[in-house]
Chain A
Amino acid sequence: MAYEQVSVKTPLGLRVLPFASLLLFLGTWQAVIDFGVVPNTMLASPTQVFKLFLVKLTDPNPDGAVLIRHAWTSVQEAFTGYILALLVGIPLGLLMGWFVVVEGLARPIFELIRPIPPIAWIPLTIFWFGIGITGKVFIIWVAGIVPCVINSFVGVRMTNPTLIQMARTYGASDWQIFRQICIPSALPMVFGALQIALAYCWTNLVGAELLAADNGLGYLITMGRRLALPDMVVLGMIMVGLTGVVIGVIIDYVEKRLLAGIRR
């Protein structure tokens, strides 16, 4: 028989190493505070952060809200901006990829906006909208639009020219080719954009909250600094990372579930 079953083992060292590494990391972190190597005014130990986490689950002091509330505000803002960015950016990018008129009109503006880091808009939005949700959503929207447009544009541009030529021999119109060939062809790139745009949106949300907010995880971090509470700062940072990961997982799940049929 040419094929047989056999098992290949990963060496024990390789399997233990990740856990050892994490333990070492957490241990060093804790030790550095406990033994006074780093003053407690600059950094909080893992246990302190965890204690604060438990406290903040129910206690709204001293920053004005419970942990979940902060997280929820951040998620809301990020999500609104993200969805709006998808709704505008993806169709725009797709159309730009195919129709010269759309590209001609939209491109210069896009190329002008693109190099400006979304954070740079913050002072302007404070001027326009004050320190509220609108300003932040605007920034997140600007942040998310860029990868959506770029990916959709490139996705359409990468359509196999042979397919297009084939459609033309059938007498298809520009619009038909766009709908039937370019869009499905661009879908993998578009799905790629979903995750990239989310990461951008989330990063910029944190930045926006750091500088101009009275609520949200970024605000929590800033308050921690202002009140010289490093455990709050670290808690905020970890929550930001964690929430980002969770949202990413959710988006991934939605993508796989609802769009399984369409995706190649």
Chain B
Amino acid sequence: MNVVGVEHQDKIVCQNISKVFIQKGNQRVHVLEDINLSVKENEFVVILGPGQSGKSTLLRIIAGLETPTSGKAILDGVEVAGPGPDRGLVFQSYMLFPWKTVMGNVELGPKLRGIRKKERREIASHYINLVGLDGFENHYPHQLSGGMKQRVGIARAYANNPELMLLDEPFGQLDAQTRYFMEKETARIWEAEKRTVLFVTNNIDEAIYLGARIISLQGKLPGRMHRVYEVDLPRPREHTDMKFLELRHEITEASELTL
């Protein structure tokens, strides 16, 4: 159903999204309040916030895994009604199927959509190459390091050719150096195959390095929109660039005020 009042080039629009969870023990947890944002086609948007700010929930609402208590998420003019292959989700804890090989994991999306074996092998191989894991097609997840597992996660999401890529703190479980490496890889992969991306993180450096626009949520529940930052730096970005550091300073100061 098409929704009025949405600009044509807006890929995603969130209108007045609020979310209240009812937990066992009969408690209500108010996680999101009044979220309004819009993302353009092929834009790399970062949602930044400390822990417990509801950002993962927001991502899951856009993914269709949760329904908002009020408000709606709109993708390409159509309201989000549930999970689907038009959105790819990369999980923080990788969520690879341990009983499938790398190839098996990546080709699962096409397989579920009925694509023939030869074709889906090609698609999967292409994306395994893209993330830099060629040669590891027949490895099982337990044989891979954390960074490699996450790359499989990214390839798996890409292989389904989604309209939208959603990444939920994908590098949260990696050590600092692997994290820098994965940030560079993510930027490289996105440049190679552009998609609209919503990237959730709590790391300010990561947000500035990757995002064209940063939407920060305030630091306590319920999560509310705090500030929006435009990142105007040319790619590839440098963590030690003057303007990078200035922006970093600005965001850090602003975040401290809300905690």
Contact surface of A with B, Cβ cutoff 8 Å: 1-8
Q: Answer whether A8 and B28 are a contact pair too, CB < 8 Å, given A2-B221, A2-B222.
A: no
User: How many Å from the CB of A218 to the closest CB on chain B?
Assistant: 44
**Which of B19-27, B63-71, B83-91, B230-238 is near enough to bind chain A?**
B19-27
Judged by a CB distance under 8 angstroms, whether B29 is at the interface is yes
Assess whether B222 is in contact with A8, with CB atoms less than 8 Å apart: no
Could you list some 14 contacts between A and B, CB below 8 A? A1-B30, A2-B221, A3-B27, A3-B28, A3-B29, A3-B30, A4-B27, A4-B28, A6-B22, A6-B26, A6-B27, A7-B26, A8-B22, A8-B24
**In the docked arrangement, what's the CA distance between A262 and B22, Å?**
36
Assess whether A6 is in contact with B28, with CB atoms less than 8 Å apart: yes
Q: How many residues of B contact A (CB 8 A)?
A: 9
Kindly list the 7 A-B residue pairs having the minimum CB-CB distance in the complex, ordered from nearest: A4-B28, A2-B30, A7-B26, A2-B221, A6-B26, A6-B28, A6-B22
Residue of chain A at shortest CB distance from B221: A2
**In the docked arrangement, what's the CA distance between A7 and B29, Å?**
13
Which residues in A have their C-beta under 8 angstroms from that of B30?
A: 1-3
Assess whether A2 is in contact with B26, with CB atoms less than 8 Å apart: no
Residue of chain A at shortest CB distance from B22: A6
**In the docked arrangement, what's the CA distance between A8 and B26, Å?**
6
User: How many Å from the CB of A4 to the closest CB on chain B?
Assistant: 4
Which residues in A have their C-beta under 8 angstroms from that of B27?
A: 3-6
Residue of chain B at shortest CB distance from A1: B30
Residue of chain A at shortest CB distance from B33: A2
Which residues in A have their C-beta under 8 angstroms from that of B22?
A: 6, 8
Beyond contacts A1-B30, A4-B28, A6-B26: 16 other A-B pairs, Cβ-Cβ < 8 A, are A2-B28, A2-B29, A2-B30, A2-B221, A2-B222, A3-B27, A3-B30, A5-B26, A5-B27, A5-B28, A6-B22, A6-B27, A6-B28, A7-B26, A8-B24, A8-B26
